Amino acid sequence: MKIKTVIDTNVFISSFWGGKPKAVVDLWINGKIIICLSDPILVEYFRVMIEKLQLSKEKIDRLIGLFGEMRNIEKVNPKMHFEVILKDPDDNMFIDCAMEAGANFIISGDDHLLELSKFEEIKIVTPAEFLRIYIRSSKA
């Protein structure tokens, strides 16, 4: 069974510059993990890519294609909305999505999420922590 993850916007966007965020996104692209998405998360991904990063049309088209294929993606429409993070309420969309999808991990670089470290059975980890866990579990 593949690990189900929710990838925070900062990790997804950071993947364009390489490093551990890229290694996490590559696990999804290569079919090793499933990413769970909701409409609010997709809107946020594209808003940041267009407004803040000013990515080239080719990169945005490639991503639209990847999301459009729905390969290794579980799309959910969260019915419950949690108010766990009061300092940055927009971050709650990642918890909503993870709970609806039954995700194993939220992968984030956001302090508000990372401070929780866990919500219900969902572990909230940095890309580096996730990669360590993933490598350890694939050797088992």
Successive 10-residue mean pLDDT values, the chain, 140 residues: 92 90 94 95 86 74 74 92 92 97 97 95 97 86
* Domain boundary assignment for the chain: 3-139
pLDDT tens per residue, range 110-126 = 999 999 999 999 999 99
CATH architecture of the domain with range 3-139: 3-Layer(aba) Sandwich (3.40)
Half-sphere exposure of 57 (CA within 13 A, CB side): 0
Q: What is the pLDDT of residue 140?
A: 60
Distance CA 22, CA 27 (A): 9
pTM: 0.91
Q: What is the pLDDT of residue 47?
A: 85
